[in-house]
Amino acid sequence: MISVGVEVMALVLILSVFNGLEDFQKGLFNSFDSDLKIVHKQGDRFQLSASQVAALKKISGIKFVNPILEDQGLIRYDQKQLVVRIKGVDASYLAAGRLKKQVVEGDYFVESGEHPFALVGIGVFLAMGMSFENVFDPIEAWYPNHTQLKRAALSENAIRRNFFFPSGVLEVEQNFDNQTVIVPLDWMEELVGQPGNRSAYEIMLAPTTDDQVIKNQIQANLGPKFTIQTRDEQHAILLKAIKIEKLFVFLIMAFVMGIASFTLFYALSLLVIEKRKDLFTLMAMGVSRQQVFRAFLWVGALISFSGAAFGMLLGYVMATIQQQFGIISLGIPNALIDAYPIKMEFWDFFWTALVVILITGLAALFPARKAVQLTFKSIK
């Protein structure tokens, strides 16, 4: 029973950690991702008319519609250069308060004009050696002029240039911090040379709004040329990878349980050998083979059920302690979280208990049948 319980506890804790990691990852995405995102199915830049944008804003539940123009570019500063993701946003992005809480230094604003300012990820800020005190040397941004490159004209006109000063430093998560620069939308249009074009429209919803309902309404308004992505769909590959990894861990642990269930096999076999004289007495009293077989099967069931219950209880207690106190740390310096995240789900407990009962039931079935047959043959 203790052996089965420890296996159940281990599987429950492992699955809960995977749930916690997935939930933590989604929480990171929530800090900088929109509730819904409108992109072109072909991945091209596109334009929405003023009437289409107005129709989106009229949908009940939509608070902000943020036009986005983003692409990769090269930034240069103080003899250093770095390829980054440059994201152009307008005033509605700041009005929505997006990433405002993630500003760790400087101020929360982007501004175009004679002295443009941009929000910079902390990884980019440190890698480039930027400084708020240097107000004379701006950061240069370079972007290829695709019209010139199509003509194979490698000249100064083949590169578009613009510049900015850092207004604030953002700290969100590693990938974001190491490659993101948020600039004014008109500044980005000037850099890429495509005024009016957008790479996406990001939608922010009111609290408690059903994103699937709004998604269907937007899809009906815009038609089949566009794809509307929820938060999870924006990172579908990563979240799918986490679920697949969780599934394989579950299968591996089930295999380990199958190997460990041999302890039950040996326990029942030894029990049959030990109780041969008692079996003889029982048979003389009129007990049938089926009744004896059921007795051993019930012993196996008692072990598996009590072990599963014990393991789930122990797993629940330990997971709760980890949630509250974080006693097992990640051991990663400067990590966003100190301890392994835990999130318990009912279905993890259900499937774990079901698999354990099936495996231990099979482990009890075959040795009990064979042992009883051998015993009755020897009695004859």
Distance CA 192, CA 104 (A): 29
Contacts of 364 (CB under 8 A, 6+ apart): 264, 265, 268, 296, 297, 299, 300, 301, 303, 304
Per DSSP, the three-state class of 123 is helix
Higher per-residue confidence, 177 vs 336: 177
Handedness of CA 99, 103, 107, 111 (dihedral sign): negative
Q: Residue 85's CB: how many other CB atoms inside 10 A?
A: 17
pLDDT in tens, 48-82: 999 999 999 999 999 999 999 999 999 999 889 99
Interatomic CA distance for residues 292 and 318, integer angstroms: 39
Residue 214 has pLDDT above 70, yes or no: yes
Of 215 and 370, the one with more pLDDT: 215
For the cut 80, the answer to whether the pLDDT of residue 283 exceeds it is: no
The backbone torsions φ and ψ at residue 140, rounded to the nearest 5 degrees and listed phi first, read: -85, 145
327-356 pLDDT, tens digit per residue, is 888 776 666 677 888 999 998 898 888 888
Q: Does the structure show a pLDDT above 80 at 375?
A: no
Q: Is the pLDDT of residue 150 over 60?
A: no
Average pLDDT over residues 206-227: 91
- What's the mean pLDDT in 30-47? 88
pLDDT at 190: 93
Return the structure tokens found at 270. 């030894």
The pLDDT assigned to 376 comes to 60
- Flag whether pLDDT at 116 surpasses 80: yes
Give helix then strand counts, H and E, for the chain: 14, 10
On whether the pTM is more than 0.85, the answer is: no
- CA-CA-CA-CA torsion sign (246, 251, 254, 255): negative
b/e code 188-224 from CB counts within 10 Å (16+ = b):
bbbbbebeeebbbbbbbbeeebebeebbebbeeebee
71 vs 145, more confident = 71
CA pair distance 200, 87, nearest whole angstrom: 11
Average pLDDT, the chain: 85
Q: According to the model, what pLDDT value does residue 51 have? A: 93
Closest listed residue to residue 303, CA positions, set 372, 376, 368, 374: 368
